[in-house]
């Protein structure tokens, strides 16, 4: 006990540590106030260690521990990675990478002031929704449009503004849980609307909706099965049928498309994902979709449809709480312009990946094997991901690495200065060229060559 107390007394004060030579450089690099906090925490940790029988730490050791703390505090946990998983819209990796035009638009808008809410012609305050609305109308042929910060917010705003204290009809088969444990019913109930579940889990008929309509019914909600499938003995009313029913009773139909495809996925050998244009043409009065999934832009929730309904959403107080910032709007405008100019396949990264030629992917995988002098080319499958096209895959070619302890190797890939995310399948490491951006390929090969030679 006495030795422990003597050891405790050997711990220096904060001021004493700050006076040693090695602390001077840290003061210059990090500033004195922040270094003081790190030194205090290092001394406290050393004291706790001594109380548990640990060894005495030298003054230089305490300064080194303080430097490690400072580096951990100031290092960003949000950093770019190389996605070699083959999952095109990878929710955990930031969903859709932006086009070069969108990145440049962000740079221009972020570095100074902008016309986010300023009308240059009138020299007066303008409206931020004007920046995307013209583009949305031209692309989707809807009467009006509004942008919020994500698709959940788009649905929440719609139900709050149009159905608060009223009822909304939805099929039981569409009350799902999405990523992160968020459940659609829980999100929708926050609007103050009462959800009326109709039909059964696997079979819902048009007459189920019709029999549930009453004087307080404000909306019919149709949620597209974008991230799951119900197979077997199933049925659901089509959008056309629900629109016809809604017109008979003067009840708008809100179509939640989720992924927000503006191009036909069937042309790439996959199932057809309903497009926004098709929903508008079918008569849906409101269509909600994401900006950062199959649209290929920034995180955003987009609503298009009847002007009379969109105008109600614009003036609702919640619209201000969920509005997008100038960065998201700049990127979204640039992304939408690609569609309007019919250049989405050439300019938007996720569509470049989805449309990638199978032979080109094989050639890239062969080049990887030749460059690093290891591994083999193996046939495999890529997925769209991001809650889009469940169970749909595309043929691809992997770089397959057979190595002892594949978990250890993929961890080392993640610890590379530009982290690399790969897959393990059948105890082999797989890297898919479909989702590796061309600008990242050199770094990927450098990492593989280095780690495999260790």
Q: Are 245 and 220 in contact (CB under 8 A)?
A: yes
Instruction: Say if residue 290 is in the same domain as residue 179.
Output: yes
pLDDT at 9 over 90: no
Q: Which residues pair with 217 in a beta bridge?
A: 167
pLDDT at 6 over 90: no
| Confidence (pTM) | 0.90
The confidence score (pLDDT) of residue 129 equals: 86
Q: How confident is the model at residue 230 (pLDDT cuts 50, 70, 90)?
A: low
Taking residues 421-427, what's their average pLDDT? Answer: 95
Per-residue pLDDT reduced to its tens digit, 306-328: 999 999 999 999 999 999 999 99
Taking residues 369-375, what's their average pLDDT? Answer: 95
Instruction: Say if residue 138 is in the same domain as residue 225.
Output: yes
The confidence score (pLDDT) of residue 11 equals: 84
Instruction: Say if residue 442 is in the same domain as residue 373.
Output: yes
Residue at 162 is within a domain: yes
For the chain, the domain total comes to 3
Residue at 181 is within a domain: yes
Q: How confident is the model at residue 351 (pLDDT cuts 50, 70, 90)?
A: very high
User: In this structure, what is the dihedral angle of CA atoms 419, 425, 429, 435, given to the nearest 10 degrees?
Assistant: -50
Instruction: Say if residue 339 is in the same domain as residue 359.
Output: no
How are beta strands 167-171 and 194-198 bridged, if at all?
A: parallel
The confidence score (pLDDT) of residue 4 equals: 46
Instruction: Say if residue 150 is in the same domain as residue 280.
Output: yes
Instruction: Say if residue 212 is in the same domain as residue 335.
Output: yes
pLDDT at 283 over 50: yes
CATH number at residue 414: 3.90.1150.180
Instruction: Say if residue 265 is in the same domain as residue 154.
Output: yes
Residue at 233 is within a domain: yes
Q: How confident is the model at residue 371 (pLDDT cuts 50, 70, 90)?
A: very high
Residue at 123 is within a domain: yes
Instruction: Say if residue 354 is in the same domain as residue 321.
Output: no
Instruction: Say if residue 187 is in the same domain as residue 231.
Output: yes
Residue at 183 is within a domain: yes
The confidence score (pLDDT) of residue 52 equals: 83
pLDDT at 2 over 70: no
State the distance between the two ends of the chain, measured CA to CA, in whole angstroms: 47
Per-residue pLDDT reduced to its tens digit, 88-114: 999 999 999 999 999 999 999 999 999
Instruction: Say if residue 317 is in the same domain as residue 425.
Output: no
Taking residues 362-375, what's their average pLDDT? Answer: 96
Q: Which domain holds residue 105?
A: 99-343
CATH number at residue 132: 3.40.640.10
Cβ burial, residue 221 (10 Å; 0-12/13-18/19+): buried
Listed residues 297, 312, 343: the one ending a domain? 343
Listed residues 302, 318, 343: the one ending a domain? 343
Residue at 94 is within a domain: no
Residues 6+ apart with CB under 8 A from 88: 350, 353, 354, 382, 383, 384, 385, 386, 434, 435
Instruction: Say if residue 177 is in the same domain as residue 317.
Output: yes
Listed residues 282, 316, 343: the one ending a domain? 343
pLDDT at 39 over 70: yes
Per-residue pLDDT reduced to its tens digit, 46-61: 998 888 888 888 899 9
Q: How confident is the model at residue 182 (pLDDT cuts 50, 70, 90)?
A: low
Phi, psi (5° rounding) for residue 223? -105, 120
Residue at 325 is within a domain: yes
User: In this structure, what is the dihedral angle of CA atoms 16, 18, 20, 22, given to the nearest 10 degrees?
Assistant: 150
Instruction: Say if residue 213 is in the same domain as residue 356.
Output: no
C-alpha pair distances (Å), 219 with each of 169, 178, 339, 431, 439 = 6, 22, 30, 46, 47
Residue at 277 is within a domain: yes
């Amino acid at each position: 006990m006495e030795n422990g107390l003597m050891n405790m007394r050997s711990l220096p004060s904060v001021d004493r540590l700050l006076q040693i030579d090695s602390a001077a450089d840290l003061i210059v690099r990090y500033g004195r106030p922040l270094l003081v906090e790190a030194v205090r925490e290092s001394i406290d940790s050393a004291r706790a260690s001594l109380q548990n029988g640990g060894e005495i730490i030298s003054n230089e050791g305490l300064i080194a521990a303080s430097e490690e703390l400072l580096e951990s505090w100031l290092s960003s946990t949000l950093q770019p990675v190389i996605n070699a998983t083959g999952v095109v819209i990878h929710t955990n990796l930031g969903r859709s990478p932006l086009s070069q035009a969108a990145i440049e638009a962000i740079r221009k808008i972020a570095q100074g002031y902008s016309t986010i809410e300023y009308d240059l012609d009138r020299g007066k305050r303008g409206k931020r929704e004007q920046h995307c609305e013209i583009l949305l109308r031209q692309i989707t042929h809807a009467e009006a449009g509004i942008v919020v910060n994500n698709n959940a917010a788009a649905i929440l705003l719609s139900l709050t503004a149009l159905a608060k204290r009223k009822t909304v009809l939805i099929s039981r088969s569409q009350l799902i849980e999405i990523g992160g444990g968020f459940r659609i019913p829980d999100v929708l109930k926050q609007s103050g609307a009462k959800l009326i579940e109709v039909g059964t889990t696997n079979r819902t008929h048009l007459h189920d909706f019709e029999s549930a309509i009453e004087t307080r019914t404000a909306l019919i909600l149709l949620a597209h099965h974008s991230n799951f499938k119900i197979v077997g003995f199933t049925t659901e009313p089509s959008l056309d049928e629900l629109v016809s029913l809604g017109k008979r009773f003067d009840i708008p139909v809100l179509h939640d498309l989720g992924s927000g495809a503006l191009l036909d996925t069937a042309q790439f050998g996959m199932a057809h994902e309903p497009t926004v244009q098709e929903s508008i043409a079918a008569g849906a009065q409101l269509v909600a979709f994401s900006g950062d999934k199959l649209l290929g832009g920034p995180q955003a929730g987009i609503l298009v449809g009847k002007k009379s309904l969109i105008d109600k959403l614009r003036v609702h107080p919640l619209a201000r709480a969920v509005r997008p910032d100038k960065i998201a709007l700049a990127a979204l405008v640039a992304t939408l312009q690609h569609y309007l100019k019919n250049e989405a396949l050439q300019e938007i990264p996720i569509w470049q990946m989805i449309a990638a030629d199978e032979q080109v992917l094989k050639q890239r995988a062969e080049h990887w094997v030749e460059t690093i002098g290891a591994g083999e080319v193996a046939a495999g499958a890529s997925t769209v991901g991001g809650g889009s096209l469940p169970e749909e895959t595309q043929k691809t070619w992997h770089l397959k690495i057979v190595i002892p302890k594949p978990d250890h190797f993929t961890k080392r890939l993640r610890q590379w200065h530009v982290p690399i995310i790969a897959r393990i399948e059948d105890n082999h490491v797989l890297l898919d060229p479909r989702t590796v951006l061309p600008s990242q390929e050199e770094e990927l090969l450098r990492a593989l060559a280095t780690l495999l030679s260790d």
